Structure 1
Amino acid sequence: MGTTFHGPSPWPHITRAIGTRGARYAAIAYLGQDAPDLLPLRAGDLLVVNASKAAIRAHATSPAALAYYVNKGVRVLSSPTLHAKVIVTGRRAVVGSANASENSAFADDAVIITDDPEVIASVRTFIDRIDEVTEVDEVFLDDAAREWEIGRAVPIPGVTGRIRDPEAEFLSVPVTRMFVKHAVDYEPSPTEQHVLDERRSRRPATVGPAVKYALESLRLDRASAVRRGGVVVFVSVDDGWVYPPAVVVSDPMKIPRSGGAVLYFLRIRIDLTPLRLTEAERALTDLGHPGSRLRIDHFVRSPSLRTDLLALWDL
């Protein structure tokens, strides 16, 4: 492999590089809630982060991400002075500027990935010698969750750089990925609920005086074709309702100890109201869609049906 440079979007390269057998050791200062997708660690790995009170209150390190790794069996340590971003496996070392967060995924970060034995040994020694560390356990996580609620998102140099604004528009134009799914009630696990509460704690965005957003979740038993930016229309056949479109605003997040289930976050507009299923079917039939299949889970392939479904709510 040798030594390679990756920027300005290095995370896909980092994720591939550390997908090896054996233990991984990482010292990544700040973790966003989506860190597990970028930095897929497992039981037996070591992760050192900056989960200091200042980092948690600034929303630079997510308690939900910490909880995910702890639940996976990763040993997690917090160092209040950590600012490094390095990872080492038995075969490779990653050295660079990338935090494990969405901010980093959209900032101009860069890393060096190398199989140089001397660099690998040096990175491992650096991680082993990080001092002032505290074990992240259940007590630590409870305290971190409280600090997160007290704090607010504030700029930290090198952390909250230029990122895309997912709230700028409710729908992408055009909508190319839409799903009809049955509405099913379920009780979120404590980890799911914490992540959901964390997201909801952010100040809701507005577009105009009457449009407000809320955050909901979607749990699927396995990974699917649902992707960030897609639209989900929920239907309750038993109750006879079609619910307003929801926009997928996260990548799939694996749920610990769930047998492969994944969690998505959805943004909804609370000013939109459900429609009677029979009325929606009748309206779509009048628009030339007698086989709208609203009573069956499916991917909506027809562009015109997607357009007319959205038009039921004047979207």
Structure 2
Amino acid sequence: MGTTFHGPNPWPHITRAIRTRGPRHAAIAYLGQDAPELLPLRAGDVLVVNAGAAAIRAHATSPAALAHYLGKGVRVLSCPTLHAKVIATNRRAVIGSANATVNSTFADDAVIITDDPPIIADTRKFIDGLYDLTEVDHAFIDNAAREWAIGRAVPIPGITGRIHNPDNEFLPTPVTRMFVKHVVDYQPNPTEQHLIHEQQPSRTTSGPVAKYQLQSLRLGKPSSIIPGDMIVLVSADNEWIYPPALVTSEPTRIPRSGGAVLVFLRIRADLPPLSLNVAEKHLADLGHPAPRLRTDHYVRSVSIRTALLELWNL
């Protein structure tokens, strides 16, 4: 095949070029609702998109397209600073300007398609090296659908506005509700395992490492915790305190569990746990000698909430 140039309507060539065996890795900034027809992916493939709040509100990336790929078993990740449009298969690389949108089929886009092994390897390396990534799961898509409904209110990073700090998407602004909870070791029953499996996306060991990941939390009784709350987890032996996690789902009652509920949290996988003693000393140095980190409670103090976030420079 060699190396070929395609424009101004490259999508028929892209779609044909990626119909190969083996996993495909794609980093396509924006997805329209018709993206699955242009970019047919299957279980085992990896797709990185820009599904940040600005892209969703601007209707540049469709939650329906995200849901389609997730349902097909594609591992989907969101990178809110992504602007590239590249694909790597086992046999070819596609590099160009074409988003997977109907607008792209009418615009004057162009791509290069090549079977040159070093370029294929470099394209795959680029995709695997992306960072500030969030695993797209059902809770992520539910939130994206709400952002989509808000409308075209936010400029698209890199196109009509300045690139924003992707870390802002992890924390609510401001953080008004925070809870300290202790981790309880237990074996999930079959019902809980089913709920966890339904919420978690398909994952493979290939592709980029997600910075934001999904984690489940079992609460022993009905709770007032709601989506948008922050949870600071402490180990059962009071030795470790874990980075704040964002609640992304309503509590789901677990049948035959005595009233227990399950919630899902979005965590920063790149932030380490800290020694609880070290954390307490830091808070004491800031004027909080009794932060009550060894008991479960609602953190009412604004200054303690801020100090806890500062333990991880959040």
Q: TM-score, normalised by structure 1?
A: 0.49
Q: TM-score, normalised by structure 2?
A: 0.49
